[in-house]
Copies of this chain bind each other. A is one copy, B any other.
Amino acid sequence: MAKVDTSLVAHLPLFAGVTPEAMDEILREARSARYPKNSAIFEQGADAQSFFLLLHGHVRAAKTTPTGEQIVVRYVAPGETFGLAMAIGAARYPATAMAVDDSVVLIWPNSAWPRLVERFPALAANTLQTVGTRLQESHTRILEMSTQQVEQRIAHALLRLAKQSGKKLDHGIEIDFPISRQDIAQMTGTTLHTVSRILSAWESQGLVESGRQRIILRDPHGIVVLAERSPDSGAA
């Protein structure tokens, strides 16, 4: 089994307050694995047997309805945990995780969690913090879906993606993994058609530049303005 370099992950929020020796012990329980682009890491409804820490790449967590519609729960960036089903008391994964880029993850068996938490209570506290933050983000998303129109929701979604996984360019910010109109629609509760229309409009205003599964925010500040615009103060 590949040895994981402690220094690469010790600074992550998950391990705040954990000593280097403890890190060794924690990492000894993990194995690492590589998932190629577009491969599934786990499926919604499957027995939750492991939890994960993303080292490289990007992972999309999506939830599917009985009728087949999907929403994107979130995009996982390097350094973030995912698949914490058992930590929160679920026997099955509530969503599907798929690598949207070639990705490398650390994998712990669920059985290790109770032992780790007992030896390193900071892990539970850190995880609680993380999950709490995600809960708040979910509430914010609900608030947006309830009170804002599609254009504003898309603006917020892109800004968040840019902050989380944006690559600074000379002029603008590029979202650093492949993302389609459909994906954005599934993040904002709309359809790919509407997303396409809005991005086209933005492109003609010089706010963004985009193509096949690729988006560059050319005028982030202009998009912030859009995002905060009240529903009626529309354009001419």
Contacts and interface: CB of A to CB of B under 8 A. Distances in A.
Nearest to A228: B66
B142 A141 contact: yes
A6 B110 CA distance: 33
Q: SS class of chain A's interface: helix, strand, loop or mixed? A: helix
A125 interface: yes
Interface residues of A, number: 38
B90 A139 contact: no
Interface in A98-140: 117-118, 121, 124-125, 127-129, 131-136, 138-139
A143 B230 contact: no
Interface in A29-65: 63, 65
Given A67-B230, A118-B121, A121-B117, A135 B143 contact: no
A180 to B, nearest CB: 16
A162 interface: no
B142 A71 contact: yes
Contacts of A128: 87-88, 124, 127-128, 131
A129 B85 CA distance: 10
Contacts of A121: 117-118, 121, 124
A69 interface: yes
B136 A186 contact: no
A87 B136 CA distance: 12
Contacts of A67: 147, 230
A118 B131 CA distance: 19
Nearest to A68: B147
A146 interface: yes
Given A65-B143, A90-B132, A124-B124, 11 more contacts: A63-B139, A69-B147, A87-B128, A88-B132, A94-B136, A94-B139, A95-B139, A117-B121, A131-B135, A138-B142, A146-B186
Interface of A: 63, 65, 67, 69, 71, 73, 84, 87-90, 94-95, 117-118, 121, 124-125, 127-129, 131-136, 138-139, 141-143, 145-147, 186, 189, 230
18 contacts: A65-B143, A67-B230, A69-B147, A73-B142, A87-B128, A88-B133, A118-B121, A121-B124, A124-B125, A128-B131, A131-B131, A131-B135, A135-B138, A138-B142, A142-B142, A142-B189, A145-B189, A146-B186
